[in-house]
Amino acid sequence: MCQHHNLKLCRLFTTISLIILLAMLSGFISFTAIASPAERDVALALLIEKSSKKRAAGVDALAASGDPAAASILAAMVDGDLFFQKSDNRVVIAKKQADGYAVIDPILNEALGVLPSGDIKKIRVNNRLRRQIRGALGGLNLSHSNAETRLAAAYGLQKSPDPALRPALKSAFAKEADTDVRTAMGMALAVIDSRPEAAPKDRLVAIELLTDSDSTEARVILTLLAGDTEKDASVRAAATIALDTVEDRLFYFQTLGSIFQGLSLGSVLLLAAIGLAITFGVMGVINMAHGEMIMIGAYVTFMIQEVFRSFAPEYFGLSLALAVPAGFVASGALGVVMERSVIRWLYGRPLETLLATWGISLILQQAVRTVFGPTNQEVGNPEWMSGAVELAGGVLLTYNRIWIIVFALAVLAAVWALIRFTSMGLEMRAVTQNRRMANSMGIHSGRVDALTFGLGSGVAGMAGVALSQVDNVSPNLGQAYIIDSFMVVVFGGVGNLWGTLMGAFSLGIVNKFLEPVSGAVLGKIIVLVAIILFIQKRPRGLFALKGRAVEN
């Protein structure tokens, strides 16, 4: 069918169309194809095409070519490191550096030097291609020497299952020694076997495997097998039973997850409120600038991280350890200045205090806006605070939230110990209980006031360090927490750290159980109304202080 004069071109064309055809019928591509440079080059030519359909065909063709470089090319592509040279359309792997791109030829495996960004063009990937590449890499990396790569391969195959890989997967599954990888491979096998084209016998085996799995993917497949699309009645029945088992287990884990989420929200509330429990709870100052103390702690974190980024990026993980004391000192010092300059003149005049501190909060906000600009600042999560641990059944406990719970409890314990066991704590309690008596016992009450206010502000600063890990670092950060903080302190019982703890956690958990039912907006309103009603009944909150001190 090819005419004589342009035989070569015509043959190339035939090969390309054949490859595309093959790629589309990927079921027929044998996994152990013999390496052929021609096939590889045709595949690479498809990769630099504009149309994403052709690039998709290129990915399949490359995976099927059996070329030794295929895995590294595809891995670079999914990471966005695959480019082609504009001059000769050669496909290269390029890594960005300060003066351009360091370019490597993946086939010859040799460095081509540093090229300016104008000489090469990125091979675009979209979400569909990413899935496809992960599947293809799954096939290529099933017997990789590194267990982590094998695990990624198995996950890739779960996401885009390819029946053609079943034999390879089965033999890899039989040989696998690592438990995690084996489980993932079993899952991938089950995913392939549960397809409607598979034999009903295989699907029944798959269902059994899926029943033991806690992953959300298992639930997806079981739902499909239990549904109307499944033709085989016995499979449908087995899937329905399996689904019930899985869902019971998932419900249990999800409840645990909700409790964790509640604790986590509670710990955020607790952190925000501890400082206020001191300034408002112990001293009785309605401090509207409390939120801004939190914000300043967050900005201190940002500044410290900037220093680390420019001078010691390798120690970035330590930035938070330094930010905690720095945040405490910065906000604490500001608190002392505020108390000495403004608040001490206003003791016993709550309305004036409220207005004055509100004014201070506006001044601080606008000052930060002027210095740092109104936009969000980037505060990074250190390595040990990123990611999550999977409880089971897709319920994730994120590391940053686990650490915040721990941190909140630690701060609370420290503050409690300080008030309970140190001489400064003793003086603080003495002054709040009976100022005149404390004065006549030789306690310098003005100094104690300043230090107490400084302590409350400093604790708010530490809260800001932690909150910078979950929220925006912007001049508005504090405003978001001021109402919640007052809510917790009033609900828990003014002047009572134990009440603050219980108030924060109970509000957090109630909120998290309400939210899925009522939605976030209504949930918040319900909680607020409930607190108002509760305060009507118990004006002193959950844990009211008793005794003479309360009366005045």
Options 10, 22, 392, 470; binder of other proteins; rule CB under 8 A: 470
Q: How many residues bind other proteins (CB under 8 A)?
A: 65
Residue ranges in 32-91 that form contacts with other proteins under rule CB under 8 A: 52, 80
| Burial (CB count within 10 angstroms: exposed 0-12, middle 13-18, buried 19+), residue 426 | middle
| Residue-by-residue DSSP string for 68-130 | TTHHHHHHHHHTT-EEEETTT--EEEEEEETTEEEEEETTTTEEEEEE-GGGEEE----HHHH
Closest separation in Å from C-beta 233 to other proteins: 20
Asked if 378 interacts with other proteins (CB under 8 A), we say yes
Asked if 196 interacts with other proteins (CB under 8 A), we say no
Most distant pair of Cα atoms in the chain: their distance: 115
Residue ranges in 310-369 that form contacts with other proteins under rule CB under 8 A: 365-366, 369
Backbone angles phi, psi at 59, to 5 degrees: -60, -45
Options 131, 249, 344, 429; binder of other proteins; rule CB under 8 A: 131
Binding string to other proteins for residues 210 to 239, with x set by CB under 8 A, is what? ------xx-xxx-xx--x------------
Q: Which one, 188 or 431, has the nearer CB to other proteins?
A: 188
Q: Which one, 15 or 258, has the nearer CB to other proteins?
A: 258
Residue ranges in 259-298 that form contacts with other proteins under rule CB under 8 A: 261, 264-265, 268
Binding string to other proteins for residues 87 to 126, with x set by CB under 8 A, is what? -----------------------------------x-x-x
Identity of the residue numbered 50: K
Q: Which one, 347 or 372, has the nearer CB to other proteins?
A: 372
Q: Which one, 18 or 528, has the nearer CB to other proteins?
A: 528
> What angle separates helix 7-24 from helix 52-65, to the nearest 10 degrees?
90
Closest separation in Å from C-beta 302 to other proteins: 10
| β-strand pairing of 100-105 with 110-115 | antiparallel
Q: Provide the phi-psi class of 284: left if phi over 0, else alpha when psi is between -120 and 50, else beta.
A: left
Cα–Cα distance for residue pair 47/52, rounded to 1 Å? 9
Asked if 195 interacts with other proteins (CB under 8 A), we say no
Query: Residue 279 has which token pair?
Result: 């300034």
Contact present, 530 and 487 (Cβ < 8 Å): no
> How far is the CA of 552 from the CAs of 93, 94, 546, in angstroms?
75, 73, 12
Contact present, 504 and 270 (Cβ < 8 Å): yes
Return residues touching other proteins (CB under 8 A). 52, 80, 122, 124, 126-128, 130-131, 134, 159, 216-217, 219-221, 223-224, 227, 254, 257-258, 261, 264-265, 268, 365-366, 369, 373-381, 386-388, 394-396, 398-401, 470-476, 479-480, 511-512, 515-516, 519-521, 524
